[in-house]
Amino acid sequence: MRKHVLIMILLCLSGIFYTALSFQFSLADDIDASHAIAAREILQRHDWITLHVNGVRYLEKAPLLYWLVAIADQIFGINEFAVRLPTIVAVIVLAGIAYLFGRWAYSPKAGLYTAVMLLSCVGMFLFTRMMIPEALLTVWFTLGHFCFLRAFWGKAHEKNYYFGFYAAMALAVLTKGLIGIIFMVAPVFLFLLSTQQLSAWRELRLLPGTALFLAIAAPWHILAGLRNENFFWFYFVNEHILRFLNVREQRDYNRLPMLQYWLLQLIWLFPWSIGLPLLSKQRFSSRPTAERSSQINLYLALWAGFILIFFGLSSNQEYYTFPAYPAVALLLGNAFAIAETQHSKILVRLHTGLAVFALVVAACLGELLWQTRTFQPTGDLSAVLNLISADSVHYTRSMARVFDLTPQAFAELREPVLRTVLALGIGFPVVAWLHRYRHHSSAMLATLLTMWLFFIAAHQAHVKFDPIVSSRSLATVILQRWQPGAKIVINGNHEIASSIGFYTDQQLLLLNGRKFNLEFGSRYPDAPPVFLEIEQVRQLWQTSNLIFLFTENIKKETLLHDLDLPTVLVADIGGKSVLVNR
């Protein structure tokens, strides 16, 4: 147990760190709050088979993450912490599995490096701040591939690790559908094919393993198909095959340009992506008689490469590549560990280059801060941003709001930008200095600390953006004025104001909102009458009930023209407004 003390301390501290950063910022509009509503409606409807959002069947997602959030809701109450807890736990479990994987495959130092990389790369932080299944999915992939390799090179009873592979694959399917099979089976097949060991299929426990897989994965799919007409076509064909071909009905996503897609992987793996040149010194052997480490290198390359190429050819949302991170981190972890033991000069050069880059970025940010010294913060970031409609495909990208920034905006973000300057400008030069004098373990932990300080600054900036990316403040205004019989109308689709539905716990009426994720569910005869046209809103507006009407400001003028009835503005926050009929 003593040999694992350091990683246990690291995982505990990481749990505290990620938990602390889960508070303060609200659930965002779009998928974050929508998915949280789906989990809450599991408890409200006592239906663990068919997901619902805003009372409408929501059939495009696998259920496991929603089940876990619903359980957390039941234990801790329906709040942001409960929504984020399963993802936080997934991050810590992932780092722990990756540590054991790297320790077994290479060395204790490689395992530690791998865990630190996964806990401190930009993508891990960025893509775990919303309710999406990627972190949980990555846990199953990492566990499954680890079990396969343990069984493949194991003897006697160690062959039973194959059952872990099948169980993990089933859980991956329950987390995100058919890619749970594809991303597990493809690397295995390609590895056996390239190493001329296809005959090893006899040892894979295919029949009992398949039975275990079906016992875990099949029941929900069968029940969902029985309870929801056309489920199989929509879920398997539209949401898997047609999405891959980029011709899915109700296309609500965009493709990244290919060059941008690949370059972004360097950002998501930053700062550890600087170690990619070290991989050129690693051996990737397909010879069956080659040493185990070089064959494991090949397996990990096939694992990561297949995922990256798959989404490069498909609908390449940035966070879809999350499951490739552990494979890359394992390769880099081993490469860094070997470079340390060999006292390689390239390690010092890489971190020196990183330090120079960090200093340049810090200097540029410092110059921006200096230029905004005469601007007085107003406390309203939205007033100094170039905002466009939240349902634009522009905002399907993870860091789209960065492009809304103006020079005046830096005055509103002065404190987090200053913290970023200090973290980058001091942290990475210190890391380079430690590597220069061969304090490599200290340098690894200093890199972790530097990134955590950067994450704290990014978290503070996120909080500043809170009124823009979330509508919680508007929901608070609505609740303060709420009356029996009141209703909330959203000018657009559900996701542009889904956080209002979460924080008010009210069903939203949608003006011209029969599209995107709720469109298919709206076809069922039990769909609630929440989809309205302008004439229906006009009639509702003239009743005696209090009606709240949400709209993005960029759409407000057109809405008022179409409504053509007296309105009263009760809130204008974050580029969004709430109007009432009296």
Q: pLDDT by residue for the chain (582 residues), tens digit each?
A: 677 899 999 999 999 999 998 887 899 998 999 999 999 999 999 999 999 999 999 999 999 999 999 999 999 999 999 999 999 999 999 999 999 999 999 999 999 999 999 999 999 999 999 999 999 999 999 999 999 999 999 888 899 999 999 999 999 999 999 999 999 999 999 999 999 899 888 899 999 999 999 999 999 999 999 999 999 999 998 887 877 776 666 665 667 788 888 899 999 999 999 999 999 888 888 887 788 999 999 999 999 999 999 988 876 677 889 999 999 999 999 999 999 988 778 999 999 999 999 999 999 998 888 888 777 776 666 666 655 544 454 444 455 555 556 667 777 788 899 999 999 999 999 999 999 998 999 999 999 999 999 999 999 988 888 989 999 999 999 999 999 999 999 999 999 999 999 999 999 999 999 988 899 999 999 999 999 999 999 999 999 999 999 999 999 999 999 999 999 999 999 889 999 998
- From the number of C-beta atoms within 10 Å of its C-beta (0-12, 13-18, 19+), residue 507 rates as middle
Residue 490: DSSP 8-state: E
Q: Do 448 and 534 have their domain in common?
A: no
Q: Do 404 and 457 have their domain in common?
A: yes
User: pTM here?
Assistant: 0.93
Sheet of strand 547-552: strand arrangement = 531-532, 508-511, 487-491, 547-552, 576-580, 568-573
Q: Do 215 and 124 have their domain in common?
A: yes
> What is the per-residue pLDDT for 314?
75
Residue 544: DSSP 8-state: S
Q: Do 313 and 419 have their domain in common?
A: no
Domain count, the chain: 3
Distance CA 552, CA 547 (A): 17
Distance CA 127, CA 265 (A): 13
Q: Do 105 and 217 have their domain in common?
A: yes
Domain boundary among 419, 440, 464: 464
Q: Do 120 and 165 have their domain in common?
A: yes
> What is the per-residue pLDDT for 384?
60
User: How far from 470 is each of 63, 222, 390, 574, CA to CA, in Å?
Assistant: 24, 36, 11, 8
Q: Do 141 and 229 have their domain in common?
A: yes
Q: Do 414 and 442 have their domain in common?
A: yes
Domain boundary among 417, 432, 464: 464
Domain boundary among 317, 337, 357: 337
Q: Do 428 and 526 have their domain in common?
A: no
Q: Do 431 and 448 have their domain in common?
A: yes
Q: Do 119 and 230 have their domain in common?
A: yes
Which token pair is 305?
Answer: 């490469």
User: How far from 124 is each of 270, 395, 478, CA to CA, in Å?
Assistant: 10, 20, 35
Q: Do 494 and 574 have their domain in common?
A: yes
Q: 573 is in which domain, residue-wise?
A: 472-580
CA angle 231, 237, 242 (to 5 degrees): 140
